[in-house]
Amino acid sequence: MSRIRTEMIDEKITWQDITTGAEIDEPATSLLINTGEWRVMRPRFLEDKCKQCLLCVPFCPDSSIPVKEGRRSDFDFDHCKGCGICVKVCPFDAIDFVKEEK
């Protein structure tokens, strides 16, 4: 058992003593952080195959598929983390996955 874990058991820390986590201090701060740098795989939009069904849009957990005037465009790569959900849900194979080039 690790030294830290042993010390915690020895000290009998209660849940009230644990630092609170996952609190949101200010809303909409995700736009300020470029989380796309975490990506290992990159989705690639194949516009010629896209039927503009927009099924990919609500499935994107990072809202990284912009839509203007009822049509989707290329990804917002500043915030796309490369999860691949859009690749799986596209019924027309209009999105594929490639290794991220750094």
- With vertex at residue 22, the alpha carbon angle to CA 86 and CA 55, rounded to the nearest 5 degrees, is 15
* CATH architecture, domain 33-102: 2-Layer Sandwich (3.30)
2-32 tens-digit pLDDT = 555 555 566 778 878 777 776 766 766 777 7
70-88 tens-digit pLDDT = 999 999 999 999 999 999 9
HSE (side-chain half, CA atoms, 13 Å) at 90: 24
Q: Is it the case that residue 98 has pLDDT exceeding 90?
A: yes
Alpha-carbon distance of 36 to 43, in angstroms, equals 11
**Tokens of residue 94, six digits:** 């209009």
Alpha-carbon distance of 97 to 89, in angstroms, equals 13
Q: pTM for this one? A: 0.69
Contact indicator for 60, 94 with CB cutoff of 8 Å:
no
